[in-house]
Amino acid sequence: MSHDDTTSEPTDESTTGRASTASRRGFLRAAAGAGAATALGLGVTGSAAADGIPTPWLHRDGNLIRDPSDNKVLLRGVNVPDPKRMDTKDFRPDADETIARATNEDDSWYSRIIRLPVQPVDVGDHGTGSIPPVPGFDRSQLESYVENHLRPAVDVCAERNVYCIVDYHRHRGEDDEHAYDSEGIDDELTMFWETVAPEFAEDSNVLFEVYNEPIHPFQGHYEPNVDVAPDDDEAIETWNTWKEAAQPWVDTIRDHAPRNLILVGSPRWSQWTYQAPRNEFDGDNLAYTGHVYAHENLRPLSKYFGEPAEEVPVFVTEFGWGENGANYLTGTADVEGEQFVEFFANHDVHWQVWCFDSKWSPAMLDHDWSIKEYGEFWRDELAAHRDDDVPSGDVETDTDAQTTVASTATPTPTSTDEPTPTPTDEPTPTPTDEPTPTPTDEPTPTATPPADAMVVNDYDGDPAWSRNRNDLGQWCGAGSFENGSGEVEDGALVLEYDNGGWYQEQINRSVEEYSILVLRVSGASGGEESEIQFSMGGASGMLADVTSDPIGTSAGDVTIDMESAGVDRSSSSLSLRLNFWQGGSSTLEIESVRLE
């Protein structure tokens, strides 16, 4: 559900369109990017390293999404407001500025996908917060919207090296005119996808979301006090009705865009993902969406969204919680936040949190564009997964004009109207892939670091751990511990864990001149190396498997021979990550991390 500001082969014609698209991209690099820099204090450099990830064509493989090299891909990111709404400068940055902020790695924003909601209310110039009529726009209005707002926003995503979801974003109206099986809605969606799908058929970074939140008909709709669960037998009838109505739209998209992934929602504000594997839509490269906030009737998340994800690809394209509002929306980081983290850690589910704005709620940003705690929570999660499950390949660079964001502020969205799905039970941190480390050779611990050692972090308060910066000037952080994100005491980072917690230090440079990673640590019980998952430079496994040094109850050096462990020391996006979800319970104190 959405939240408004108030509470086939290409034809010659489409090929010509792509040529103009290319020139438009060039213009955005030099002009729009520079405009964003002027407005927001962004720096434009000629040879800065590119942010983002490779964005090749993706394809479905069972319940997974893979890149052309058959690597598993999970796309994590944020929603932004409607591109036209952003471009009105309604007390928020333009679309290009907002996307640049949401992908600004200098400010620790690692969105790998941006969801772009295209609202009939904005396409058709209706009043904000209104329920647009059916149809909500004519073809001329839609073509103008695509040319002036949607195509530029998609191009900025391409320039920032991230994927984007073009989302047909209807979510209001519960009368017969607005039913998803009505003739008017069918005409509107057919016109929309006949126009939009061919426009982006050659953009490998674009995914299509058929219909944001089809509401009704669904079983129980006309009996407001009856809540029919998405796994109830009566829900099968609803899903069959939905499939009959939506299959032609899926076919229209595929006819015009043979390769883009298509995301399919479900009735009752896209809450009934559970039914997807029982009667899949026809077509190739299809995935299914789910929307959930703090809904009690959709818990546990592992049932309503995790079980279908074991059989089909699932994108949770809207989720989150707010400090206040309707019951289905109100939640906290300690409860709903940790439930979502656990759910995503346990299931191969793609996620796009709502919403990177200051008006559309739950909003990640404040009205001065500073980051709220809610925004910081998900910024940390995005940073923690910045290198996880991304496609392989080269990141496109532009040495003529690359925009990089230096400011730390960010916009946030507005309040939502209708209900959306629920969060999961207990939290569980971030997933790691399969372990492939190797035990290290001989350790060479030293109490005093050599003069030529590279100190990653010594937790001496300069810089402060709470500011999420290490001695290399890179992002660092932790979460889901018994003591939150950890506390620095007497020159050591204290992490109290009970089958939970993640810790990460980013290095972001080649370290080929160094061979040994040294962790100076102690544990409350000793032997904690057998309870900690190690991940670095493509290698992952239990810490005990990559070192022969035990963790003792007094501070000592635990050394890891990076080459023997399988660490890619040449990576320019290197980071050290430790996960604590292996069932142990203790306290770890880290005095320093260094490379020798």
Q: For the chain, where do the domains classified as CATH 2.60.120 start and end?
A: 454-595
Strand order in the sheet with 533-536: 476-479, 502-506, 575-579, 533-536, 539-542
Are the C-beta atoms of 586 and 529 separated by less than 8 Å?
no
Name the token pair of 145: 């919207």
Residue 3, pLDDT score: 56
Residues 100, 94: Cα–Cα separation, whole Å = 10
**Average pLDDT, integer, range 228-233:** 80
Residues 120, 161: Cα–Cα separation, whole Å = 28
- Band of the pLDDT at 548, cuts 50, 70, 90? very high
- In the chain, the amino acid numbered 483 is N
Largest CA distance in the chain: 75
**Cα 164 to chain centroid, rounded:** 10
**Average pLDDT, integer, range 295-307:** 93
**Average pLDDT, integer, range 334-353:** 97
Q: For the chain, where do the domains classified as CATH 3.20.20.80 start and end?
A: 12-52+62-221+241-414
Q: Which CATH topology does 454-595 take?
A: Jelly Rolls (2.60.120)
Residue with tokens 């904690």: 528
Residues 89, 76: Cα–Cα separation, whole Å = 27
- pLDDT 10s digits, 355-372: 999 999 999 999 888 999
Residue 199: other Cβ atoms inside 10 A: 22
Beta bridge partners of 167: 117, 209
**Average pLDDT, integer, range 178-194:** 96
- pLDDT 10s digits, 442-489: 333 445 667 789 999 999 999 989 878 899 988 788 877 899 889 999
**Average pLDDT, integer, range 314-329:** 91
Residue by residue, DSSP assigns 239-304 as HHHHHHHHHHHHHHHHHH-SSS-EEE--HHHHT-GGGGGGSPPSSSSEEEEEEESS-GGG--HIII
Higher pLDDT, 548 or 422: 548
| DSSP 8-state code for residue 333 | I
Helix (H) or strand (E) segment spanning residue 152: helix 151-159
pLDDT at 400 over 60: no
Residue 367, pLDDT score: 87
Name the token pair of 96: 């290009």
Which CATH entry fits the domain spanning 12-52+62-221+241-414: 3.30.499.10, 3.40.50.970, 1.20.1260.10, 3.20.20.80? 3.20.20.80
Residue 566, pLDDT score: 93
pLDDT at 208 over 60: yes
Residue 280, pLDDT score: 96
- In the chain, the amino acid numbered 530 is S
**Average pLDDT, integer, range 36-57:** 55
Residue 176, pLDDT score: 84
Peptide bond before residue 443 is cis, with ω within 30 degrees of 0: no
Residue 518, pLDDT score: 97
**Average pLDDT, integer, range 89-104:** 89
pLDDT at 4 over 60: no
Q: What is the average pLDDT score of the chain?
A: 83
**Cα 507 to chain centroid, rounded:** 22
